[in-house]
Amino acid sequence: MSDDPSVGKLRALVAEFEPDRGHLMPALHKVQDTYGYISRQAMEVVARQLRTTPALVYGCVTFYYDFRTHPPAEREIAWCSGPACRLRGGDRIREALQHTLELPLGGISADGKYGFHNGQCVGTCSEAPQVWLDGKVVGDLTVAKAIELGRSVRGGA
Amino acid sequence: MNARLQTIIDEAKARVETKNTNGREKVNVCIDTSSIARGGEETLAKIREVAEAKGLRIDIGVTGSWGFSWMEPTVTVRSAAGTQTILYANVTADRVEEFIEATVVSGGTMPELALGVVEGTATDDIALLSDHPWMKGQERRLMEYIGRHDPVNIDEYLADGGYEGFGAALELDAETIVNQVVESGLGGRAGGGFPAGRKWDFLRTATTDERYLICNADEGDPGAWVNRVILEGEPQQIIEGLLIAALATGSFEGYVYIRYEYPLAFERFKKAAEQASSLGLLGKDILGTGLDFEIIPFLGAGSYVCGEETGLIASIDAYRGMPRIKPPFPAQSGLWNKPTNVNNVETYANAPLILKNGPEWWAGVSDCEDKGTKMFTVSGAINQPGCVEIPYGRTMKELLENYAGGMKEGSTLKGFQPGGPLSGILPASDINLPLTRPPYQERGMFLGGGGVIFFDQTTSIIDLCLYFVGFCEDESCGRCTTCRGGTQRAVEILRRMANGGGRNTDIDKLLDIVNTLVWSNCLHGQFGATSVKVALKFFRDEFDEVIREKRDPTRSLPGLISYVITSPRDESLAAAKDICPTVAISESAGTYSLEDAKCIRCGACKELAPGAIEVRDRFAPPIPADVAAAGG
């Protein structure tokens, strides 16, 4: 997933996209879906393909929460920032997980093994408070359960 | 009716009929994001596995969500003869074996999991679904077939009256279509309520030929999943609505901007658009009428302000999704600087109902200023988080009691937040307000897009404000200083209050920010601190207590409480010590102590040692004046 792709491969990947047709976001999605993140090199290739500047592409990439400029961690805990979770101790879960993982929201461990992210509410509020572990909902949490989950992810379980 | 459309509908009906009369039981599992969170996919896999192991000749399918989010996974079983369909709830994978045994192999029912009879007659122990207390009183129009239809089988939509609204529109000229929508009173469903028909008319009468439609499916309000239920449950209804709007406005391309957090909705919508194209319902010269219309499903990438129409347009247009000042409005200059109509998913989805059944029927369901039905999702300290469709004008109380299932045991309603971070926080005493925009406007806020949150006595108003304004701060695009700096400053003040540093001047400062934010460029900033503004009206005492007394009545604000060990030799403290993520609890010779400076107030210890740890006010109550005077 995270091999930095060659310029040739990147060009081929985004060859279908055209300037001034609203293709920047689809092109960036395609790069991220393929490689897991959007490298500086990819931004330059996309910019060239769409006849725009790397700075504009970079501006777009960094504007959105879900575009990544670095490879994702092997395991990811995404914390649900939604209101139903908040009402049931969600913020205390965030605080506890930050300390358990020793990562801020948006952080990745130095060895790239695990990351901690902010997740947006998608309306699975019956499970509140919840986090996603590698995209799968872990709901009905208590702070203690969240800490145990964090420890097991950190310990490589 | 257009002859080619009639043929498409007839052929779809025939295919559905063939499937329905093939003599097999049909087991359909609700697979939507809510159901998946509760194990829906595992249930589906298990049903397939059991059916194969037992050599059952049954049809296994997928549907969207009925709205019973708190009881997913839900499953319908249609008898082989097709005479009876029953809806079951909480069919988790571990119960599939006995479930299939009871409902398919033995040909009976499983009353303990049954919600009701969808089609057929009630049995001794299973009532009609329409008599279920949660279904009663709902007016399911948009949701009529959500939960019954396979969202990615256009045939099922066509067989149940789908595209008849478009068929009716094809017989009318653009002006008449617009007039019907105007007459219906259909207002924008995202909260603005602007008459959709008037918006369409701006486009219809535009002087430029190149016009665009945009469907805003960037449902970012935390706690709202109304649009997701439609996108994941009946995507064809959105496509049909867009087609009607295309006819009415003379647009040739429609973008459907779906938030990144809804991958299943995006995938289903894309498939639905492909199916419509393959039947000739999208593309060039649709049904030989000369109408050209393409739909482009567009995936967002995580940004709340892209739900603001000009932010959304900028996002498609290959820029950062930053809203701009209006005017010009999108109807004058939108996508690629061409006239553009932006409506919400639910707004477009209503158009087929209006065209098919007439504006009078459509509007007749509600007796208040807002016409038609509205879908609401409910969450918070309630028993039944789910999605319902009721006419505008019912009361908030009805929503809470009849559909949200009332407050959880031990919870008393303290207040509610009717819709989205830009809306306000209202007290329990407003629970009788009708669900229509005017009373909320009187309170200086929005009713919102349908995501209602009920909270109880354990929720701090200061924390809620911090949450909502904090959300707006995070999501501010940063273009105007008013919004960027205003929300930031409000968050700083609220956080300081929550940490015990509230000052007497804070309320005036907050009000100053609230009154300044209204000069922001877009709605996001203008309403970014509405939560604070309204909360200050109704919960002023709580602000005062937190600021002046440094005491939080909910004992939840981290800076105003302390965790204190009350039984230092209690054995349960061993687990509390182990769980503490900051090693704040230590033990010496069987006695435990807690170091306040290390404690982050996460509360994990108290969960494991509830009898040995107490949450106390961090600051001792002030000494009463008479005691102080007596020297003591």
CA pair distance A76, A154, nearest whole angstrom = 10
* Per-residue confidence (pLDDT) for residue A1, from 0 to 100: 45
CA pair distance A142, B605, nearest whole angstrom = 11
What percentage of chain B carries pLDDT values higher than 70? 98
Residue B28 has what DSSP assignment? E
B199 and B123, same structural domain?
no
- The contacts of residue B14 (CB under 8 Å, 6+ apart) are none
In a domain, B146, yes or no: no
- Tell me: the pLDDT tens digits for A130-144? 999 999 999 999 999
Q: What is the mean pLDDT of residues B373-380?
A: 98
pLDDT over 90 at B371, yes or no: yes
Please name the residue ranges forming H helices in B250-404: 263-278, 309-316, 345-357, 359-363, 396-398
Last residue of a domain, one of B337, B363, B389: B363
- Tell me: the pLDDT tens digits for B111-123? 999 999 999 999 9
In a domain, B624, yes or no: no
In a domain, B386, yes or no: yes
B358 and B383, same structural domain?
no
A37 and A84, same structural domain?
no
- B458 → chain A, closest CA residue: A87
In a domain, A1, yes or no: no
In a domain, A136, yes or no: yes
- Tell me: the pLDDT tens digits for B512-548? 999 999 999 999 999 999 999 999 999 999 999 999 9
Q: Cis peptide before B235, with omega less than 30 degrees from 0?
A: no
State the CATH number of the domain containing residue A133: 3.40.30.10
Last residue of a domain, one of A63, A86, A110: A63
* Per-residue confidence (pLDDT) for residue A5, from 0 to 100: 75
pLDDT over 90 at B451, yes or no: yes
In a domain, B622, yes or no: no
State the CATH number of the domain containing residue A41: 1.10.10.1590
Residue A12 structural domain: 7-63
A133 and A107, same structural domain?
yes
pLDDT over 50 at A2, yes or no: no
In a domain, A70, yes or no: no
* Per-residue confidence (pLDDT) for residue B314, from 0 to 100: 96
pLDDT over 90 at A152, yes or no: yes
**Identity of residue A42:** A
CA pair distance B585, B574, nearest whole angstrom = 9
What percentage of chain A carries pLDDT values higher than 90? 95
- Tell me: the pLDDT tens digits for A4-13? 678 999 999 9
Contacts of A124 in chain B (CB under 8 A): 33-34, 37-38, 69
State the CATH number of the domain containing residue B610: 3.30.70.20
CB contact under 8 A, B33 and A124: yes
B540 and B604, same structural domain?
no
A139 and A97, same structural domain?
yes
Contacts of B419 in chain A (CB under 8 A): none
* Per-residue confidence (pLDDT) for residue B318, from 0 to 100: 82
A59 and A79, same structural domain?
no
- Tell me: the pLDDT tens digits for A68-111? 999 999 999 999 999 999 999 999 999 999 999 999 999 999 99
Q: What is the mean pLDDT of residues B586-593?
A: 97
- Tell me: the pLDDT tens digits for B213-269? 999 999 999 999 999 999 999 999 999 999 999 999 999 999 999 999 999 999 999
**Chain mean pLDDT for chain B:** 96
Cα of B39 to nearest chain A Cα, Å: 9
B198 and B114, same structural domain?
no
Q: Does A143 touch chain B (CB under 8 A)?
A: yes
In a domain, A68, yes or no: no
Q: What is the mean pLDDT of residues B319-344?
A: 96
pLDDT over 60 at A3, yes or no: no
* Spatial contact of A81 and B221, defined as CB atoms under 8 Å apart: no
* Spatial contact of B488 and B473, defined as CB atoms under 8 Å apart: yes
Last residue of a domain, one of A33, A63, A93: A63
CA pair distance B297, B274, nearest whole angstrom = 10
Q: What is the mean pLDDT of residues B94-111?
A: 97
Residue B429 has what DSSP assignment? G
pLDDT confidence band for B620 (50 / 70 / 90): confident
State the CATH number of the domain containing residue B392: 3.10.20.600
Contacts of A147 in chain B (CB under 8 A): 579, 581, 602, 604
Cα of A3 to nearest chain B Cα, Å: 22
Scan residues 87-106 of A and list those with Cβ closer than 8 Å to B: 87-89, 91-93, 95-96, 99-100
* Spatial contact of B13 and B164, defined as CB atoms under 8 Å apart: no
pLDDT over 80 at B576, yes or no: yes
Query: How far are the Cα atoms of B190, B347, B366 from residue B195, in angstroms, in the given order?
Result: 12, 10, 16
pLDDT over 70 at B293, yes or no: yes
* Spatial contact of A25 and B316, defined as CB atoms under 8 Å apart: yes
B535 and B498, same structural domain?
yes
Tokens for B231? 């996108």
Q: How many helices (H) and strands (E) does chain B have?
A: 25, 19
Total number of domains constituting chain B:
5
Does the reported pTM lie above 0.90? yes
CA pair distance B274, B158, nearest whole angstrom = 15
In a domain, B500, yes or no: yes
Residue from B422, B509, B522 nearest B482 by CA: B522
State the CATH number of the domain containing residue B99: 3.40.30.10
pLDDT confidence band for B164 (50 / 70 / 90): very high
SS3 (DSSP) at B617: strand
- The contacts of residue B448 (CB under 8 Å, 6+ apart) are B191, B221, B224, B418, B419, B420, B422, B423, B440
pLDDT confidence band for B628 (50 / 70 / 90): low
Query: How far are the Cα atoms of A24, A153, B126, B400 from residue B603, in angstroms, in the given order?
Result: 45, 21, 44, 29
pLDDT confidence band for A117 (50 / 70 / 90): very high
A46 and A16, same structural domain?
yes
B158 and B124, same structural domain?
no
B565 and B485, same structural domain?
no
What is the predicted ipTM?
0.96
State the CATH number of the domain containing residue B180: 3.40.50.11540
Residue corresponding to tokens 């009976």: B108
pLDDT confidence band for B192 (50 / 70 / 90): confident
In a domain, B141, yes or no: no
CA pair distance B586, A143, nearest whole angstrom = 19
Scan residues 9-48 of A and list those with Cβ closer than 8 Å to B: 20, 22-26, 28-29
Total number of domains constituting chain A:
2
* Per-residue confidence (pLDDT) for residue A156, from 0 to 100: 77
Tokens for B318? 């290959």
In a domain, A69, yes or no: no
CB contact under 8 A, A125 and B385: yes
Tokens for A94? 């965030």
pLDDT over 90 at B630, yes or no: no
CA pair distance B95, B110, nearest whole angstrom = 11
Partner residue opposite B582 with nearest CB, options A63, A99, A122: A99
Residue B411 structural domain: 373-456
* Per-residue confidence (pLDDT) for residue B631, from 0 to 100: 59
